[in-house]
Amino acid sequence: MASHRRPKQPSRTRVTVLTTAAAAAVALSAQAANAAPSEKLSKDEVKTKVDKLYEQAEQATEKYNGATEKQEKLQKEISTIQDDVARGQQDLNKLRDGLGAMASAQYRSGGIDPSVQLFLSANPDDYLDKASTLDQLSGQQVDALKKIQDKQRELSQERTEASSKLKDLDSTRTELKKQKQAVQNKLAEAQKLLNSLTAQEKQALEAEQARANRSSQGRVDLGDVPAASGHASAAFAAAQSKIGTPYVYGATGPSSFDCSGLTSWAYAQAGVSIPRTSQAQAGAGTRIYSQSDLKVGDLVLFYGDLHHVGLYAGKGMVLHAPRTGTVVRYESINNMPFQFGVRI
């Protein structure tokens, strides 16, 4: 006998879930179909973004250079203080030995003075603070004790100073690591953008950069623009000898440079020591605010935060190490936001 039972109907809850899921799937499909694919940047757009990243990398580079310079200065200062402490300790030991010899002589001549005996087994600072004790000492003993006390205080101050500088050095090293990472991150981001280009686009961009490097490496006609000074002329000549040398962040020559590395190296060849970073070089001499007053060899500072520096070459040109991917070369002063010149 055939069964006339109706087939089991799906529950209301199950129907609702299935319906909702189906609707969501349809909506997602429609959204995916209608969404515009992410647009690939053109070669020129990539170049613009990469140039900006290189500029940001140079900003971080100057901070890195500043931290490096501070680290080196602190290390020298700490070394000097530690040498002074070591010498001071030797002097203190000699003073103590002298007082000990004095006590021995007293002992041989009839017994050590109780006050000297107390000193040899106690802190002289505490000891000398008791005025009544001084009455029990000879003039020679008082002089010896005061010398020891002064030397101990001097050593204590030097050790405190060394401790403070060591803490400063530790924080400087942290900052150095931070800025180095910032530079590397910007360069990696720029490289990622460059890698998004096709082989043909990459080739075209590299050829464009090579042409820019070649066209700006020739000697400029300085005309009748005088050098700022004999030292400025010598510094500029030294920088000229490095035309075509690659830019490398943190480099100070002679085979690679960053912007302030080139200027500080050039002036060093002229026998003049200037600070390492562009911001510090901004305060190294007399500021020249009018471009028309600039002379060959003057430092030229760019950007509001002064993170870039070059040497004035004459006729509206600067000689500088621009950024990653370029070489030491000439460029129009108007290609960057001029702030002021500095005459060393």
Domain boundaries, the chain: 43-195, 220-343
Structure confidence at residue 124 (pLDDT): 54
Contact 96, 121 (CB under 8 A): no
- Token code pair at residue 229: 């000074």
pLDDT band at 143 (very low <50, low <70, confident <90, very high): confident
Task: Using alpha carbons, select from 63, 51, 66, 11 the residue that is nearest to residue 324.
Answer: 51
Among the listed residues 297, 266, 260, the one whose alpha carbon sits nearest the alpha carbon of residue 279? 260
**Residues contacting residue 172 through CB under 8 Å, at least 6 positions apart:** 67, 70, 71, 74
Task: At 118, list the tokens.
Answer: 């107390």
Contact 271, 302 (CB under 8 A): no
pLDDT at res. 126? 56
Would you state the pLDDT for residue 284? 96
For 52-67, what is each residue's pLDDT tens digit?
999 999 999 999 999 9
Tokens of 21: 């899921």
Nearest CA among 204, 272, 216, 274 for reference residue 240: 216
Backbone angles phi, psi at 323, to 5 degrees: -175, 180
Find out whether 334 and 258 touch, Cβ atoms under 8 Å.
no
Is 4 among the residues known to form the active site?
A: no
Q: Which residue has the tokens 């969501």?
A: 24
- Give residue 280's Cα distance to chain centre: 12
Q: What is the mean pLDDT of residues 108-116?
A: 53
What CATH class has 43-195?
mainly alpha
Asked if 259 is an active-site residue, the reply is yes
pLDDT at 128: 52
Q: Among the listed ranges 128-137, 202-211, 264-273, which one has the minimum average pLDDT value? A: 128-137
Is residue 258 within 8 Å of residue 321, measured between CB atoms? Answer: yes
Least confident of 174-188, 215-229, 261-275, 329-343: 215-229
307 flagged as catalytic: no
CA dihedral 222, 226, 228, 234 (to 10 degrees): 60
CA atoms of 61 and 29, how far apart (whole Å): 48
Find the range with the poorest average confidence among 75-84, 134-143, 197-206.
Answer: 134-143
| CA 52/CA 55 separation, integer angstroms | 5
- Mean pLDDT score, 294-312: 97
H or E segment and range at residue 87: helix 43-108
pLDDT value at position 113?
Answer: 54
Q: Can you tell me the distance from the alpha carbon of 175 to that of 295, in angstroms, rounded to the nearest whole number?
A: 36
Residues whose CB is less than 8 angstroms from the CB of residue 168 and which lie 6 or more positions away in sequence, other chains included: 74
pLDDT at residue number 256: 97
Own/partner long-range contacts of 100-106 (Cβ < 8 Å, ≥24 apart): 102/140, 102/141, 102/144
Q: Is the pLDDT of residue 309 over 90?
A: yes
Q: Which CATH class is domain 220-343?
A: alpha beta
The answer to whether residue 78 scores a pLDDT higher than 60 is yes
CA distance readout (Å), 200 to 58, 169, 194, 206, 209 = 28, 48, 12, 10, 14
270 — pLDDT class (breaks 50, 70, 90)? very high
- % of residues, the chain, pLDDT over 90: 58
Q: What is the pLDDT of residues 180-218, one digit of tens each?
A: 999 999 999 999 999 999 999 988 888 888 887 776 665
pTM: 0.68
Mean pLDDT of 76-95: 90
- Nearest-10 Cα torsion for 147, 149, 154, 157: 180
Average pLDDT (11-15) is 44
Prior bond to 114 cis, omega within 30? Answer: no
Catalytic residue among 4, 231, 307, 308: 308
Residue 173 in contact with residue 33, Cβ under 8 Å?
A: no
State the pLDDT at residue 286.
Answer: 97
Structure confidence at residue 221 (pLDDT): 66
